[in-house]
């Protein structure tokens, strides 16, 4: 199952529909406009179930009905501005759960502890936005604080320059928000090859024996991640 923003361009939606079933996250003004259609704001995909904000669930439950997904609907988890907007924005990398633990939804954090994830605290509340998980032990990020925090936990990091990613209403977006892994492919929303660190990114991903898929007709944009649950 793939979760993606309703605002992603159609060519990427169609590519992803060839890979798996797709659920489109709807715009909701309970958070500020730049991120109000972002999957990683409204849900977190754990190993065993999906945690979803109640407001988003009510919008997309008809899309979800045909599928028997283990969803825990959480109420009163989000507020309009940071840090109230980051309750679901944790990052899972294999056995690790990474987030600013001051702002994680208490229900998600408690469950991560119960299933014995290695819990890593970082200062960045928009953790999933800021880091793109590649496999169970590697990420791409422009956030030096995240890179430093995970280095001692055997997580390999490809550290890139910040910027060069669109996010309407903001100075720039973040690499984690541009994409996600589906099967053996890393999909990007827009032309990742225009990023100044593309060769570094390409070598890192290909070094994991994964492929890169993107549409060069669109600029690289932060769409709140491409999230998957299987």
pTM of structure: 0.97
> In the predicted model, what is the mean pLDDT of residues 95-109?
98
Find, among 17, 7, 53, the residue nearest to 167 by Cα: 7
- With cut-offs at 50, 70 and 90, classify the pLDDT of residue 13: very high
Count: domains in the chain: 1
For residue 165, what is the domain's CATH number?
3.75.10.10
Domain that holds residue 79: 2-228
Chain segment 172-229, per-residue pLDDT in tens:
999 999 999 999 999 999 999 999 999 999 999 999 999 999 999 999 999 999 999 9
pLDDT of residue 174: 98
- Report pLDDT for 125: 98
In tens, the pLDDT along 81-93 reads 999 999 999 999 9
For 134, the token pair is 């590649």
Q: Could you report the per-residue pLDDT of 118-145, keeping only the tens digit for each?
A: 999 999 999 999 999 999 999 999 999 9
Token pair for residue 222?
A: 């932060």
Helices (H) and strands (E) in the chain, counts: 7, 15
Cβ(155)–Cβ(161) below 8 Å:
no
């Amino acid at each position: 199952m793939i979760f993606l923003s309703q605002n992603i361009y159609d060519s990427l939606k169609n590519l992803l529909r060839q890979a798996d079933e797709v659920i489109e996250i709807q715009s909701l003004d309970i958070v500020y406009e730049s991120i109000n259609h972002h999957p990683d704001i409204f849900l977190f995909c754990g190993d065993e179930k999906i945690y979803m904000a109640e407001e988003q669930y009510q919008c997309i439950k008809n899309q979800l009905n045909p599928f028997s997904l283990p969803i825990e609907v959480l109420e009163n988890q989000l507020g309009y501005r940071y840090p109230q907007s980051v309750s679901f924005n944790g990052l899972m990398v294999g056995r690790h759960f990474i987030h600013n633990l001051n702002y994680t939804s208490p229900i998600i954090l408690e469950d991560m502890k119960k299933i014995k994830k290695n819990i890593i605290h970082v200062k960045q509340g928009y953790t999933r936005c800021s880091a793109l998980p590649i496999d169970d032990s590697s990420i791409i990020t422009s956030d030096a604080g995240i890179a430093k925090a995970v280095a001692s936990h055997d997580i390999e990091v490809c550290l890139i320059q910040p910027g060069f990613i669109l996010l309407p209403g903001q100075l720039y977006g973040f690499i984690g928000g541009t994409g996600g892994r589906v099967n053996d492919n890393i999909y990007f929303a827009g032309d990742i090859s225009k990023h100044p660190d593309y060769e570094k990114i390409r070598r890192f991903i290909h070094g994991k024996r994964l492929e890169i898929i993107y549409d060069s007709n669109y600029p690289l944009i932060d769409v709140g991640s491409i999230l998957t649950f299987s």
